[in-house]
């Protein structure tokens, strides 16, 4: 049995294109913007968690006040 592996022209072109994207200006900009974007996303996640906890507490208070 042969262990020979071949690659297609499409695969080679795709790899080249992917390398250009990864090392391109937009990728460089993204890496520069990422720390602030990450911080903003973490804050949004924390705000959503607080909203979840608050709505759970409000629901519990309503149920308690209603005798349930």
Instruction: Return d(Cα 56, Cα 13) in angstroms, integer.
Output: 52
| Domain ranges, ordered by start, for the chain | 9-65
Query: What would the pLDDT profile of 9-64 be if each residue is shown by its tens digit?
Result: 999 999 999 999 999 898 899 999 999 999 999 999 999 999 999 999 999 999 99
Instruction: Return d(Cα 58, Cα 64) in angstroms, integer.
Output: 10
Instruction: Return d(Cα 35, Cα 41) in angstroms, integer.
Output: 10
> What does the block give as tokens for 59?
């629901």
Residue appearing with tokens 């720390």 = 35
HSE-CB at 32 with a 13 A cutoff on CA atoms is 7
Query: What would the pLDDT profile of 31-45 be if each residue is shown by its tens digit?
Result: 999 999 999 999 999
Residues 6+ apart with CB under 8 A from 21: 27
pTM of the model: 0.60
């Amino acid at each position: 049995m042969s262990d020979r592996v071949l690659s297609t022209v499409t695969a080679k072109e795709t790899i080249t294109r992917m390398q250009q994207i990864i090392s391109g200006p937009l990728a460089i900009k993204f890496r520069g913007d990422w720390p602030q974007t990450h911080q903003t996303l973490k804050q949004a996640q924390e705000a959503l968690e607080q909203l979840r906890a608050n709505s759970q507490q409000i629901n519990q208070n309503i149920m308690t006040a209603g005798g349930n």
